[in-house]
Structure 1
Amino acid sequence: MKEVSGRKMNQRFYDMLEENPVIAAVKDEEGLEKCCSLEDIKVVFILFGDLCSIPDLVGRIKESGKMAVVHADLITGLGSREIAVDFIKKATQADGIISTKPALIKRGRELGMFTVMRYFLIDSMALENVRTLPGGVRPDVIEILPGLMPDIIRNICQDLKTPIIAGGLITDRKSVMAALSAGALCVSSTNQNVWTM
């Protein structure tokens, strides 16, 4: 049953990104208000909040008809253990989670949530880690930061079957188009100007 609901979640995510390949990554109340008012934004990454506020933040995004994905590592009060994902699933209406931690991604998949594994590419060792996901970890998508590396994105897209999101430092149309042309499924950005391109 969870595998079926996971596939439906994947299809919903891809359908939303087909309408607009830009994900609003929100880091504060101002960004949340802005993205909820934008009809073209379909998917929102929540990069702030705490145990008390996250149910409300997710609820507001869902009320605006958007898909809500919570960055589990950035929510104040949540730990780095799998129970953090259980909390997000039970206490909010979140569609999915983002994490740099393989155990959290694995737990999200077990719970039928959409999962985004985030990687910071700071050197060649980090790049190799993307290519060799730990056993049993199968995120729905991988987010690569910074997203301003079209050649690296192209190589990763050729090496992996998992779709790629380009995020971090995406601030203009040229950056968006370079990432998409390199094979990224979409881009995520906290830059509100990118949301309205």
Structure 2
Amino acid sequence: MDIRFYNEIESNPIIAAVKDMEGLHKAVKIDSIRIIFILFGDVCNISNIVNEIKEHNKVAMVHIDLIGGLSSKDISVDFIKQNTKADGIITTKPNLIKRAKELSLYTVLRFFLIDSMALENVFKSQNNVNPDVIEILPGVMPKIIKKISKKVKCPLIAGGLICDKEDIMDALSSGAVCVSSTNQDTWVM
């Protein structure tokens, strides 16, 4: 993993995940927030959204699966690289991780853990595409976080349903290097 991305993760274990402009405006003003996950936008405004983050000298990670007008094809990663100043992407699609790594973007491979088959997929996919970081959702499963963090070769982010300091501390003490949350109250804990 790129040392700057890892250093930013280590500098504050809270990642602001923003789902609208109001959240974006709040997140960029919080000095301790170093990484922002962009969970909204479309091909017409994503460049402006990323620019606002970059103007505040923060790492901008685009959840490419959630950007209107983009597909699950590799060309979507090329679009983000060529038309924005984004530092990296978040996706559930291994093919997009591979392409992003070819383009020297930071990569977060996101998994929704709904059953034991989904859990097994974490181990298989991680070894095949080697993302910089894995994010698991929901992030309020200390026992599962511990199991995954012992088996994977890259840092682990816990996201989803993170509501308070206890959730954050449980995730971190179980092996996650940081948490991502859209809950604005957690951004300043």
Residue 187 of structure 2 is aligned to residue 185 of structure 1: no
Contact 1:106–1:136 (Cα < 8 Å) also in 2 = no
Q: Alignment partner for residue 51 of structure 2, among 52, 59, 62?
A: 59
SS at 1:133 equivalent: helix
Which deviates more from structure 2 when the two are superposed, residues 129-138 or residues 62-71? Answer: 129-138
Q: Residue 113 of structure 2 corresponds to which residue in structure 1?
A: 121
Return the TM-score normalized by structure 1: 0.94
Deviations 1:66-100 (A, max 9, x none): 00000000000001100000000000000000000
Q: Mark the runs of 5 or more structure 1 residues left unpaired by the alignment.
A: 1-6
Residue 26 of structure 2 is aligned to residue 18 of structure 1: no
Q: Alignment partner for residue 168 of structure 1, among 142, 157, 160?
A: 160
Residue 136 of structure 2 is aligned to residue 144 of structure 1: yes
Offset, 1:134? 6.8
SS at 1:108 equivalent: helix
Q: Mark the runs of 5 or more structure 2 residues left unpaired by the alignment.
A: none
Residue 35 of structure 2 is aligned to residue 43 of structure 1: yes
Return the TM-score normalized by structure 2: 0.98
SS at 1:24 equivalent: strand
Residue 104 of structure 2 is aligned to residue 107 of structure 1: no
Deviations 1:157-191 (A, max 9, x none): 11111111000000100000000000101000000
Deviations 1:103-134 (A, max 9, x none): 10100000000000000000000001001117
Q: Kindly report the root-mean-square deviation, in angstroms, between the aligned alpha carbons of the 2 structures.
A: 1.0
Q: Percent identity?
A: 60
| Aligned length in residues | 189
**Moved segments of 4+, more than 2 Å:** none
